[in-house]
Amino acid sequence: MSHVSSHSPHGQTPLHTVQVLGGGSAGSSAHVRSLAAGLAARGVRVTVCAPDEAARIYDFTAVGARHVSVPRSGDPASVAALRAACADADLVHAHGLHAALRAAVALTGRHTPLVVTWHTRAHAEGARARVLRLLERRVARAAAVVLGTSSDLVDRARSRGARDARLAAVALPALRRAETAEEADSLPHKARAELGAVERPLILAVGALEPNRGYDVLLDATRAWRHLDPMPLLLVAGEGPERAVLQRRIEDERLPARLIGRRDDVPELLAAADVAVLPSSWESRSVLAQEALHARVPLVATAVGGIPELVGDAAELVPYGDVDALSSAVVRLLANPVRRAELADKGAAQAATWPTEDETVTQVLSVYDELTQPLPYG
């Protein structure tokens, strides 16, 4: 029997699930908000343990969840707050490695089932890579079920000793769409005018400015675009530790690129873009890839992690770190409107195969039911 009503199988109190977020990437935070909304709508009691910053941005209480402030740290006070919040939980669901580790510590000595969703893969080298492996092993073994957002994350969880690892349905939360045809037509022109790219092609990359994102390779690739007329402009939306290094390169080498910081109008930027670019060394279910295909914007992406299974043949895939392959794929697309139109159609068709928010909630709820059902007699 399912917990789709507000009562448990015994007609007692509703199922109570605690969702635990650590720092919370945009993808995992949006997923928790979507999950909280769907679960609450089905009568499940939802508590979200997350830092105040995530709660401010994603407003979990607005969708029917209770928010408990738990800072992103492993200190005893943080673990104690989490342990208290989980005291009457039927099931705890942690999102990300560090949130899962804290949840496992907080649940020590209790029989509360722990579900862990791995949204992404942490990067580390040398001694830190060994520590990371130990953390992954601890989390994988503590979880009753590990849900991986891409097949390679499921394989990774199994290799770390997970008893039960499965591919997770994770939907892209609904984007704000233009209300009218006039608004849809005016958005790209307005965005282009604001960005200074009215008469030139616009290339868009979105994501944190971190070493593994491949922005150094992307800037190398822009050199090949300087000979085009009109010269394309690359916009990179995002913030991070690499900003100063990338900005210096753009200025010193006079590259046709602009860092525009963290933006909350990515759908509008995509509507204005001619091509979206994802140059990362690894991705799971990239939010940019999903938004680009939904928006019918041609995508050039690295063939890494979960990207090939996510996009199918609806994007131009290139090897990670290959400057020539990346730059020539973009140049080819800009010169070929027929191919761009073909990718737009394929992208929309591929996006239609992805799970909806409703299907995502249904799958997660079936996992919860499996883990909280009373054992049959006999």
| Cβ atoms of 105 and 81 closer than 8 Å | no
In the CATH scheme, what is the code of domain 16-171+356-372? Answer: 3.40.50.2000
Q: Please report which confidence band the pLDDT of residue 169 belongs to, taking 50, 70 and 90 as the band edges.
A: confident
Q: How confident is the model at residue 377, as a pLDDT? A: 56
Q: How confident is the model at residue 346, as a pLDDT? A: 98
Q: How confident is the model at residue 170, as a pLDDT? A: 87
What is the spatial distance between Cα 305 and Cα 196, in angstroms, rounded to a whole number? Answer: 34
What is the spatial distance between Cα 89 and Cα 166, in angstroms, rounded to a whole number? Answer: 23
Give the N- to C-terminal CA distance of the chain in Å, as an integer: 18
The more confidently predicted of residues 75 and 218 is: 218
Global pTM?
A: 0.85
Q: Please report which confidence band the pLDDT of residue 180 belongs to, taking 50, 70 and 90 as the band edges.
A: very low
What is the spatial distance between Cα 24 and Cα 10, in angstroms, rounded to a whole number? Answer: 35
Q: How confident is the model at residue 24, as a pLDDT? A: 63
Q: Which CATH superfamily is domain 181-351 in?
A: Glycogen Phosphorylase B; (3.40.50.2000)
Q: What is the mean pLDDT of residues 32-44?
A: 96
Q: Please report which confidence band the pLDDT of residue 192 belongs to, taking 50, 70 and 90 as the band edges.
A: confident
Q: Please report which confidence band the pLDDT of residue 195 belongs to, taking 50, 70 and 90 as the band edges.
A: confident
CA-nearest of 1, 3, 67 to 29 is 67
Where does the chain hold its CATH 3.40.50.2000 domain(s)?
A: 16-171+356-372, 181-351
What is the spatial distance between Cα 23 and Cα 95, in angstroms, rounded to a whole number? Answer: 10
Mean pLDDT (the chain, rounded): 90
Q: pLDDT, tens digit, for every residue of 228-281?
A: 999 999 999 999 999 999 999 999 999 999 999 999 889 999 999 999 999 999
Computed from CA positions of residues 308, 314, 318, 321, in that sequence, does the dihedral angle turn out positive or negative? negative
Q: pLDDT, tens digit, for every residue of 113-122?
A: 999 999 988 8
